[in-house]
Amino acid sequence: MKYRVRLNLAFDKEADAKALMDFAKTLTNKAETINEGKMEEELSYCDYHKCMHDEIPVKPCIPIERIEVRKISPIPIPK
């Protein structure tokens, strides 16, 4: 069994979003991806982006940073 937290919070101030992302980064070394490398993998990750869904006209999100929690390295695919 695992204890999982999922957050999706929008902030008016960039500093608030960055503070939460920075805090989440400090915990990624304790987190793990469930069933990593298997078909039923459930990736642990942190996403930080500019959300433009409140704009008129609505615009797509702009990624800033993504952290994926992985303990094993992906196997390179031969060319």
Site of tokens 């990750």: 45
pLDDT at 31: 94
Pure H helices in the chain: 14-27
Look at the chain and report how many structural domains it folds into: 1
Whether the bond into 78 is cis, omega within 30 of 0 = no
Q: Is residue 77 part of a domain?
A: no
Q: Is residue 5 part of a domain?
A: no
Spatial separation of the C-alpha atoms in residues 69 and 35, rounded to whole Å: 12
Tally of CA atoms within 13 A in the half-sphere of 76 that contains its CB: 2
Q: Is residue 46 part of a domain?
A: yes
**Digit-coded pLDDT (tens) for 22-65:** 999 999 999 999 999 899 999 999 999 999 999 999 999 999 99
The domain in which residue 41 lies consists of: 14-69
Task: Evaluate if pTM is beyond 0.75.
Answer: yes
